[in-house]
Amino acid sequence: MSDDVYILGSGMIRFNKYPEKNIKQMAAEAMGELIADVPVDKKDIEAAWFSNAGWGIYDGQHCIRGQVALAPMGIQGIPITNVENACAGGATALHAAWTAVRAGLYDLVLAIGAEKVFTATERQKMFDGFLSGTDVEFSRAMIEIFQADAKKQAAEAGEGGEEKEGGHSGFMDIYAMGARLHMQVYGTTQEQLAIIASKNRCNGALNPMAQFQKEMSVEEILADKMVAYPLTRAMCAPIGDGAAAAFVCSERALERFPDARPVRIRASVLASGCLPDSGLDTIGRRASRAVYEMAGLGPQDLDVVEVHDATAYGELMQYEELGLCEPGGGGPHAESGATRLGGKQPVNPSGGLECRGHPIGASGLAQIYELVQQLRGDAGPRQVEGARIAMAENGGGFIGLGEAAMGIHIMEKL
């Protein structure tokens, strides 16, 4: 067994709406970017993990998605594992790759995620597909209650509580309900959520890989179309397509790539959610405690963090779950400027899911791409000065009152 495992290289395509591209094309483009980063001969890849959530839903491609996507590139014959773990699929693929290398089974492997989410002609099928990342029977019943509560709360706040066109994912109703509860318990405000979203818009404007590259003020975000109170459209991750990939390797394999600029995976943890009566702590607290213990670090040691912000409330919640601030302190933490570029502990310098985009199976690996750039000092105008320790938190689905799956990685500059 080898304790030292590395990200040898990373690559991704810009997340966007690509009606003309299919999964195979986007995966091939991401592989092209990855090999441009580190010139690995495809025949030297010993195993691969392929993350995707929706290919079967919109196109009927179930079961062997990785084999279908990778074979046209010449990646075939090796062990290929298909990963489906809701929005946490990318981190799950990386965790599996890390596990195999750390166990000494392989020296050089691939983690790749690709997703086709933008299906303008089958919008409802797409939203129903999102809901499949929950206990569907439970969620359908609860979402009706959440939507009624959102309208009531919006009316009391003097807001338009109903989206006028296009519909939205049921996940937004779940996040909105969580936000309203947080507001009731801790006094969190809609403006604090807008501060997070505006911060991410500023970061996304600096990121050529982001789907949205335009700044928005707090006022503009508050004035945007309501999705589910208190979440406006600009506080929610957009629909889009994309692919991202990483090579994971052992120390032995590093010797073959003297020009590479790897980063060390200091810790990798995968956890599952739980029902309210389980007696277990929340998934974020359990997973973060485990990853800090493995890394021999604490939240105060992190220089830069990427979190799973499917909504601005999702980011605020993770401030607290990961120990970046005290429970209930997420709103004031955002207001303090600590999470902005130039702040004490920047969060989502990529723009996060809210601006970089959220092609489900690729998002976790896009976080890794961003943090590799940060640790190498290659992030340009969004560079976090002196970044040496980075964390990526990628959550997915809902079970009970929290995420169904979560992968967290801590990485360090060599």
Give the per-residue pLDDT at 135: 72
Distance of CA 208 to the CA centre of its chain: 17
* Overall average pLDDT of the 123-147 stretch: 65
pLDDT in tens, 195-212: 999 999 999 999 999 999
Give yes or no for a cis peptide into 230 (omega within 30° of 0). yes
Residue-averaged pLDDT of the chain: 92
The answer to whether residues 269 and 397 belong to one domain is yes
Confidence band (pLDDT; 50, 70, 90) for 160? low
Instruction: Tell me the pTM.
Output: 0.93
User: Is pLDDT of 311 > 70?
Assistant: yes
The answer to whether residues 110 and 181 belong to one domain is no
Q: How far apart (Å, rounded) are the C-alpha atoms in residues 143 and 145?
A: 5
Give the per-residue pLDDT at 163: 46
User: Is pLDDT of 146 > 70?
Assistant: no
In a domain, 202, yes or no: yes
What are the backbone angles phi and psi of residue 182, rounded to the nearest 5°?
-65, -40
What one-character-per-residue DSSP string does 348-385 give?
-TT-HHHHH---GGGHHHHHHHHHHHHHHT--GGGPPT
Active site residue 274: no
pLDDT in tens, 28-59: 999 999 999 999 999 999 999 999 999 998 88
The answer to whether residues 281 and 332 belong to one domain is yes
The catalytic residue among 168, 182, 358, 409 is 358
In a domain, 259, yes or no: no
The answer to whether residues 38 and 159 belong to one domain is no
Task: Please answer whether residues 392 and 402 qualify as being in contact, where contact means their C-beta atoms are separated by less than 8 angstroms.
Answer: no
pLDDT in tens, 77-123: 999 999 999 999 999 999 999 999 999 999 999 999 999 986 655 65
pLDDT in tens, 248-306: 999 999 999 999 999 999 999 999 999 999 999 999 999 999 999 999 999 999 999 99
* More confident: 110 or 142: 110
The answer to whether residues 75 and 129 belong to one domain is no
Q: How far apart (Å, rounded) are the C-alpha atoms in residues 59 and 185?
A: 43
The answer to whether residues 13 and 97 belong to one domain is yes
In a domain, 215, yes or no: yes
Q: How far apart (Å, rounded) are the C-alpha atoms in residues 60 and 3?
A: 40
Active site residue 95: no
The answer to whether residues 80 and 59 belong to one domain is yes
In a domain, 200, yes or no: yes
The answer to whether residues 9 and 77 belong to one domain is yes
pLDDT in tens, 239-264: 899 999 999 999 999 999 999 999 99
Q: How far apart (Å, rounded) are the C-alpha atoms in residues 90 and 30?
A: 14
Give the per-residue pLDDT at 134: 73
In a domain, 165, yes or no: yes
Task: Please answer whether residues 396 and 403 qualify as being in contact, where contact means their C-beta atoms are separated by less than 8 angstroms.
Answer: yes
Task: Please answer whether residues 283 and 274 qualify as being in contact, where contact means their C-beta atoms are separated by less than 8 angstroms.
Answer: yes
* Overall average pLDDT of the 226-246 stretch: 96
Distance of CA 67 to the CA centre of its chain: 24
The answer to whether residues 141 and 54 belong to one domain is no
Task: Please answer whether residues 391 and 305 qualify as being in contact, where contact means their C-beta atoms are separated by less than 8 angstroms.
Answer: yes
The answer to whether residues 157 and 42 belong to one domain is no
The catalytic residue among 87, 274, 325, 355 is 87
Give the per-residue pLDDT at 279: 95
Give the per-residue pLDDT at 165: 44
The answer to whether residues 114 and 153 belong to one domain is no
Domains in the chain, number: 3
User: Is pLDDT of 1 > 60?
Assistant: no
Which residues, other chains included, contact 411 with Cβ-Cβ below 8 Å and sequence gap of 6+? 7, 263, 264, 265, 266, 368, 371, 372, 375, 389, 390, 391, 392
The answer to whether residues 308 and 383 belong to one domain is yes
Q: How far apart (Å, rounded) are the C-alpha atoms in residues 10 and 76?
A: 20
CATH number, position 403: 3.40.47.10
Domain endpoint, select from 187, 219, 254? 254
In a domain, 197, yes or no: yes
Q: How far apart (Å, rounded) are the C-alpha atoms in residues 108 and 192?
A: 44
Outline where DSSP puts E strands in 186-273: 226-228, 231-232, 242-250, 263-272
Percent of the chain with pLDDT over 70: 89
Range of the domain at 391: 264-413
Confidence band (pLDDT; 50, 70, 90) for 129? low
In a domain, 213, yes or no: yes
User: Is pLDDT of 414 > 50?
Assistant: yes
Please choose, from the candidates 175, 172, 96, the residue with its C-alpha nearest in 3D space to the C-alpha of residue 402.
Answer: 175
Q: How far apart (Å, rounded) are the C-alpha atoms in residues 381 and 81?
A: 37
| Residue 164, CA atoms < 13 Å, CB-side half-sphere | 4
In a domain, 33, yes or no: yes
* More confident: 395 or 125: 395
Give the per-residue pLDDT at 164: 43
